[in-house]
A = this chain, B = another copy of it.
Amino acid sequence: MALIVQKFGGSSVRDAERVRNVAGIITDTYKKGNQVVVVVSAQGDTTDDLIEKAREINPNPSKREMDMLLATGEQISISLLAMAIEHMGYPVVSLTGWQAGFHTDSSHSRARIKKIETERLHKELDKNHIVIVAGFQGISRYGDITTLGRGGSDTSAVALAAELKAELCQIYTDVDGVYTADPRIVKTARKLDEISFDEMLELATLGAQVLHNRSVEMAKKYNVNLEVVSSLERKPGTKVKEVVSMEKMLIRGVTRDNNVARIAVVGLPDKPGIAFRVFSLMSKYNINVDIILQSIGRDNTKDISFTVSEDNLEQAVAVLNDNLSALEAERIEVNDNVCKLSVVGAGMQTNAGVATKMFEALYEAGININMISTSEIKISVLIDEEDSDKALRVVHDAFIN
């Protein structure tokens, strides 16, 4: 008898038919003699509908009340899923985030899990119940409902699998695994049978939308066996684990991320500590900075360019403009028509030719490279957004097939 954690996203439970389908997957797992703990997101468009309801009333509501509102989305889906399982004749109970013992810090809308008190969960498992847990949510030490922000339900599932020492944590989505590139754009993309945590982490961070990087980080930290699998077709998915069997593939995948903007701080004095000042400002406002390029400008000045997520662009620019004189900068320039294209693979650590091959493929397709960033297992380049589809295809085909 194994303990298996299964996570289902919003599209997997978007209507009654999908809820019944998911109930079928869960009960099949339970029937085989496993203990099953399920983490569910809010149904389909529920979260967007709730946000819209809030906007009508207050364009800028407090995060505390927004969390109160949004947490109802998962509470609806856990109860409906439990009802579907009841209807099939299996013992089941649904638990909200706080009932399942998810204690978080009090950063509303992007809370971090501090601990999971599993007393209630174990009590329900001991009664042979299938346990359905609301993902994405927890409770702060003030007794307030919090939400975990982006990728929250994946993180809930992995944290629960770690805490319960589950044999396996299955992330069900509407794709059937992790691909070498987005199969909607790159027809020749291949599904991976296995991928390492590190590779998955790069892919997740770089815009592959199957798994959120927070959840992969956590899975790596606690060595949780992850599997990305389809909720619509019953077939093997992609296993994400510490060590994967060697394959001949040099790279594991190509991703692109259009949710990127480039900011240039132009005309900075050419003296020490300037970069530090710029980036400490960004970190003060919790704005993640990615690719960084520092160039010498004219007249003893220099420019610092970096990329941020488009979600943070407005705030980043406002913060920089507010501090323009403190930074001794001339002006801020912005370009949000850019795209980050990355190749990822543990294989490239020992192969210097990867970068060359990537740049060559882009050059032959006439695509200009703005910025470059590398790590041990990935190479990212910033290109014009209009080139992104073509770039994805040519780079993918240069490495894979």
Interface residues of A (CB under 8 A from B): 16, 19-20, 50, 53-54, 56-62, 64-66, 68-69, 71-72, 75-76, 78-80, 82-84, 86-87, 93-94, 96, 99, 120, 143-145
Instruction: Decide if B143 touches A57 in the complex (CB within 8 Å).
Output: no
A84–B299 alpha-carbon span in the complex (Å): 53
**Nearest B residue to A88 by beta-carbon distance?**
B58
**Chain B residues near A53 (CB, 8 Å)?**
16, 76, 80
Determine which residue in A57, A64, A94 has the highest number of CB atoms from chain B within 10 A of its CB, and name it: A57
Instruction: Decide if B76 touches A72 in the complex (CB within 8 Å).
Output: yes
Shortest distance between the CB of A78 and any CB in chain B (Å): 7
Instruction: Decide if A57 touches B120 in the complex (CB within 8 Å).
Output: no
Instruction: Decide if B75 touches A61 in the complex (CB within 8 Å).
Output: no
Instruction: Decide if B86 touches A61 in the complex (CB within 8 Å).
Output: yes
Instruction: Decide if B57 touches A84 in the complex (CB within 8 Å).
Output: yes
**Chain B residues near A19 (CB, 8 Å)?**
57
Partner of A20, one of B20, B57, B143: B57
Q: A68-B75, A69-B79, A79-B69 are in contact. Are A56 and B16 (CB under 8 A)?
A: yes
A53–B15 alpha-carbon span in the complex (Å): 9
**Chain B residues near A99 (CB, 8 Å)?**
143-144
**Nearest B residue to A78 by beta-carbon distance?**
B68
Instruction: Decide if A61 touches B83 in the complex (CB within 8 Å).
Output: yes
Instruction: Decide if B80 touches A69 in the complex (CB within 8 Å).
Output: yes
Shortest distance between the CB of A64 and any CB in chain B (Å): 8
Shortest distance between the CB of A284 and any CB in chain B (Å): 25
Partner of A94, one of B57, B68, B86: B68
- Pick the 5 closest A-B CB pairs, nearest first: A69-B79, A72-B72, A58-B83, A58-B87, A68-B79
A-B CB contact pairs (8 Å), 5 listed: A53-B76, A57-B84, A62-B82, A69-B75, A69-B79
Shortest distance between the CB of A389 and any CB in chain B (Å): 39
Q: A16-B56, A99-B143, A143-B120 are in contact. Are A65 and B87 (CB under 8 A)?
A: no
Instruction: Decide if B50 touches A68 in the complex (CB within 8 Å).
Output: no
Instruction: Decide if B82 touches A68 in the complex (CB within 8 Å).
Output: yes
Shortest distance between the CB of A17 and any CB in chain B (Å): 9
Instruction: Decide if B65 touches A79 in the complex (CB within 8 Å).
Output: yes
**Chain B residues near A94 (CB, 8 Å)?**
65, 68
**Chain B residues near A61 (CB, 8 Å)?**
83, 86-87
**Chain B residues near A79 (CB, 8 Å)?**
54, 65-66, 68-69
**Chain B residues near A86 (CB, 8 Å)?**
58, 61-62, 65
Instruction: Decide if B83 touches A75 in the complex (CB within 8 Å).
Output: no
**Chain B residues near A93 (CB, 8 Å)?**
64
Shortest distance between the CB of A116 and any CB in chain B (Å): 15
A99–B143 alpha-carbon span in the complex (Å): 7
A75–B50 alpha-carbon span in the complex (Å): 12
Shortest distance between the CB of A161 and any CB in chain B (Å): 23
